[in-house]
Homo-oligomer: A and B are copies of this chain.
Amino acid sequence: MKRYLLFISALVLCFNANAQIKEDFVPSELNQPGQEYPMVNSQGYARFRVNAPKAESVVVSLGLGGSGGTTLQKGEDGFWWGTTSGPLDEGFHYYHLTIDGGVFNDPGTENYYGSTRWESGIEIPAKDKDFYAMKNVPHGKVSQVWFWSESTKQFRRAFVYTPPTYDPAQKDVNYPVLYLQHGWGENEYAWWNQGHANLIMDNLIADGKIDPFIVVMTYGMTNEGFRPGAARAAGPRPAAGATASASAGAGNPRTGAPRTGAPRTGFNMMDNGFQTVLCDELVPYIDANFKTKADRANRAMAGLSMGGMETHTITLARPEMFSYFGLLSGGVYTPEELKDIKDVKGVFVGCGSKESGDRILKAAEDLKAAGYNAKGYVSDGTAHEFLTWRRCLLEMAPMLFK
């Protein structure tokens, strides 16, 4: 009788375990056209299917398994299958596959640059996803521009969001500018591809929650490390005072980065390279080529993670440039740090609840107590990932340029 009861209990447990995963999987919205996998369900589980019939091992870098990933199993249909052992956090996640020991992307998904490579990506729909959805509202443009950087001797790229009301014919209407930086290992695509910054702005504007402004997203690293003898562009040295000088030749036209064989190195916090690029090269280029309100009161800087650290460094080192500061999972400001900066108009600090939320909220309180226009925000249920930063942008934007 006891064995019988044990057996029944085991069956029941098994049934319950299986019943926990809802079989309402749909393709991730970040899949390549026509690709059904990976799929996600309403609880946040992700299911993967990979075609590699003769492989011995296929592991997905996402999931809660012992290795921090999800080991796939080969089915009778020849495909490798697997489901995460638990739900993933809402929002965007980078990932890749390891096929027989080599790292490859999942051919099912679009590609997203992070961790210094184009990775695969998956989206777990969030309860509040509406604010970054493509909706029935006017859409701004995102424009690729190449600006000459004398300090790094190359053309560099920025993507510039201009709001829907940015009409070329409205000659005398100018806009404030937010300079918005990505994190380590990411690039100038991050904020609009992973972050949907353009859609967040479109929706905020349509909802009347902000007055339109421009958002500039550029590549924030200057210290990739060059391999000696690596091919650099040969060409005439720039003439003094020339605005666009010297050939960028052998560089990568996609990023403007010079050809280098060395992998991108870590962020050197003491490297002023990006500070010069941003303050002395990009800002003047934007002010010359877009309809901007070209003064400190109408210029903000914010960034995520390493971009936040850059923001912290640069806003303090160049206090004449920006009057609104935003750190997104990028640390805090203290009143002591700001005391010598004239007219700080607004400070935003944010992070995910799985990060150091208490520190963020305390920092905001300290700043308010010291008389600053400060806001602290903690994104519920997210970690050091892009849904945190989409929400931070949503919370920060309405405090800018008021």
Q: Which 7 A-B pairs have the closest CB atoms?
A: A52-B102, A54-B100, A34-B263, A53-B101, A55-B100, A143-B143, A104-B104
The answer, yes or no, to whether A284 is at the interface (CB within 8 Å) is no
Evaluate whether A133 and B249 lie within 8 angstroms (CB atoms) in the complex, with A104-B99, A139-B145 already known.
Answer: yes
Copies in the complex: 2
The verdict on A381 contacting chain B, using a C-beta distance below 8 Å, is no
Q: Chain B nearest CB: distance from A236 CB in Å?
A: 7
Binds B, one of A62-70, A253-261, A298-306, A345-353: A253-261
From B116, B134, B259, A251 is in contact (CB under 8 Å) with: B134
Query: Any chain B CB within 8 A of the CB of A56?
Result: yes
Q: How far is the CA of A168 from the CA of B165 in the complex (A)?
A: 13
Apart from A33-B260, A141-B143, A141-B145, what 5 extra A-B contacts exist at CB < 8 Å? A54-B56, A102-B107, A133-B247, A134-B253, A136-B244
A260's closest neighbor in chain B, by CB? Answer: B34
Interface size range of chain A in the complex = 35 or more
| Interface 9-mer from A24-32, A81-89, A321-329, A392-400 | A24-32
By DSSP majority rule, is chain A's interface helix, strand, loop, or mixed? loop
A360 to chain B, nearest CB (A): 29
Which of B27, B31, B255 contacts A33 (CB under 8 A)? Answer: B255
27 A-B residue pairs with CB within 8 Å: A33-B255, A33-B257, A34-B263, A34-B264, A52-B100, A52-B102, A53-B100, A55-B101, A97-B104, A99-B99, A99-B100, A99-B102, A100-B100, A104-B105, A107-B117, A111-B111, A111-B118, A133-B249, A134-B247, A134-B251, A143-B144, A144-B198, A168-B168, A168-B290, A168-B291, A193-B254, A196-B253
Question: Smallest CB–CB gap between A155 and chain B, Å?
Answer: 6
Q: How many angstroms from the CA of A136 to the CA of B168 in the assembled complex?
A: 26
Which B residue sits closest to A265, measured CB to CB? Answer: B34
- A57 at the binding interface (Cβ < 8 Å): yes
* Residues of B with C-beta under 8 A to A193: 254
Chain A 131-148 per-residue mask, 1 if CB under 8 angstroms from chain B, else 0: 001111111011111100
